[in-house]
């Protein structure tokens, strides 16, 4: 998924809004706005718009129909698709373009998922030593967070949801590591906590958090973070932290 605007997000975590006045939110909940006003769509039209917005290239009409109306006959699925497309109009303009039997999101529609993906990729692709840029650019809160349509249970969303969560957490861990390296501990903790919140059982996220505490000489918080994760892991999965995490806190007494 690529950003729709002419400017890409920078490794700083600052996200640049694409041009146009139509905004589609798929993180935390579905919301469509035009010129700042909320637009109400029927559920089938919402599902189609989200499906197309999550693809980085045009998709065949037949593929969209078969995926979204999986348990319908071909004729009924195609009819449902036509109905949903007809309803995807805002002030007389289509939100989904149809060209050569393929569907794609109208370029002026800004999508929060695409902004988040652009930010994460820019962080992961940034060269080593870019921590100073991150440190001077503000907190992680400049980036949009939230799971992808968490109240939707469509099968086609499962892989997309997990892929987005993994990409976001990896980017947050990278931000934390680079901010820690340049001594921007407050912002690094913010990034680590965001990663832990997204994936509470992910050890690498907890190691990032503990690493920040150790780097700033805060052994008490590092030990508390270790114990919190150890107890959570044991309670939920009956597992113990890895040897790598144990090595991080081996020099702290009273574990």
Q: What is the CATH number of the domain that holds 91?
A: 1.10.10.10
pLDDT in the model for residue 19? 41
CATH number at residue 136: 1.25.40.10
| Average pLDDT in the chain | 86
Is residue 2 assigned to a domain? Answer: no
Residue at 203 is within a domain: yes
Residues 37 and 141 in one domain: no
User: Over the stretch 55-95, which tens digit does the pLDDT of each residue have?
Assistant: 989 999 999 999 999 989 999 999 999 999 999 987 777 89
Q: Are 131 and 243 part of one and the same domain?
A: yes
In a domain, 42, yes or no: yes
Tell me the pLDDT band of 21, cut-offs 50, 70 and 90. Answer: confident
**Together in a domain, 81 and 155:** no
Identify whether residues 155 and 242 lie together within a single domain: yes
Q: Is there a single domain that holds both residue 103 and residue 162? A: no
Does 115 fall in a domain? Answer: no
CA distance linking residue 67 with residue 39, whole number of Å: 25
Overall number of domains in the chain: 2
Residues 148 and 39 occupy one common structural domain = no
- Residue 226 has, within 13 A of its CA and on its CB side, a CA count of 26
pLDDT digits (tens, 9 = 90+) for 194-219: 999 999 999 999 999 999 999 999 99
**What is the span of the domain harbouring residue 239?**
126-248
Q: Kindly state whether residue 1 falls inside one of the protein's structural domains.
A: no
pLDDT of 2 reads: 38
Residue 38 within any structural domain of the chain: yes
> Is 16 domain-assigned?
no
Say which residue the tokens 């805002």 belong to.
90
Among the listed ranges 19-33, 117-131, 144-158, which one has the minimum average pLDDT value?
117-131
Q: Which of 84, 110, 136 is the last residue of a domain?
A: 110
Q: Tokens in use for 64?
A: 């969209």
Same domain, 243 and 130: yes
Q: Please state, for a pLDDT cut of 70, what percent of the chain lies above it.
A: 84
In a domain, 102, yes or no: yes
88 and 155 in a single domain? The answer is no
Residue ending a domain, among 46, 78, 110, is 110
* Tens-place pLDDT, residues 87-145: 998 777 789 999 999 999 999 999 999 988 988 898 898 887 665 455 444 445 555 57
Q: Are residues 89 and 149 in the same domain?
A: no
Same domain, 146 and 237: yes
Query: 30 falls in which pLDDT band (50, 70, 90)?
Result: very high
Query: Does residue 193 sit in the same domain as residue 149?
Result: yes
Long-range contacts of 135-141 (CB under 8 A, 24+ apart): 135/179, 135/182, 135/183, 135/184, 135/187, 136/12, 137/10, 137/12, 137/13, 137/14, 138/12, 138/13, 138/14, 139/13, 139/187, 139/190, 140/13, 140/172, 140/175, 140/187, 140/190, 140/191, 140/194, 141/190
Please give the pLDDT value at position 214. Answer: 96
186 & 243 share domain: yes
Query: In this predicted model, which residue has the larger pLDDT, 42 or 140?
Result: 42
Predicted confidence band of residue 35 (pLDDT cuts 50, 70, 90): confident
Crossing angle of helices 219-237 and 203-215, in 10° steps, is 170
**Among 47, 76, 110, which residue terminates a domain?**
110
Distance, in Å, from the CA atom of 15 to the CA atom of 97, rounded to the nearest integer, reads: 26
């Amino acid at each position: 998924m690529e950003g729709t605007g002419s400017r890409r997000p920078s490794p700083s975590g600052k996200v640049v809004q694409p041009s146009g006045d139509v905004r589609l939110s798929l993180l935390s909940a579905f919301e469509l706005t035009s010129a700042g006003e909320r637009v109400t769509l029927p559920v089938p039209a919402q599902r189609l718009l989200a499906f197309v917005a999550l693809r980085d290239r045009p998709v065949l009409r037949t593929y969209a129909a078969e995926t979204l109306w999986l348990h319908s006959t071909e004729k009924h699925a195609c009819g449902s698709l036509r109905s949903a497309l007809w309803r995807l109009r805002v002030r007389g303009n289509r939100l989904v373009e149809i060209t050569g039997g393929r569907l794609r999101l109208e370029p002026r529609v800004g999508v929060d998922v695409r902004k988040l993906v652009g930010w994460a990729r820019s962080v992961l692709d940034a060269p080593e030593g870019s921590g100073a840029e991150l440190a001077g650019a503000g907190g992680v809160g400049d980036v949009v967070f939230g799971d992808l349509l968490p109240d939707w249970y469509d099968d086609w969303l499962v892989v997309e949801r997990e892929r987005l969560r993994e990409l976001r957490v990896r980017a947050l861990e990278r931000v934390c590591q680079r901010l820690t390296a340049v001594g921007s501990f407050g912002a690094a903790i913010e990034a680590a906590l965001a990663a832990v919140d997204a994936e509470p059982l992910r050890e690498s996220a907890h190691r990032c958090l503990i690493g920040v505490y150790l780097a700033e000489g805060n052994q008490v918080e590092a030990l508390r973070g270790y114990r919190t994760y150890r107890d959570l892991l044991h309670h939920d999965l009956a597992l113990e932290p890895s040897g790598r995490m144990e090595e991080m806190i081996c020099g702290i007494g009273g574990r």
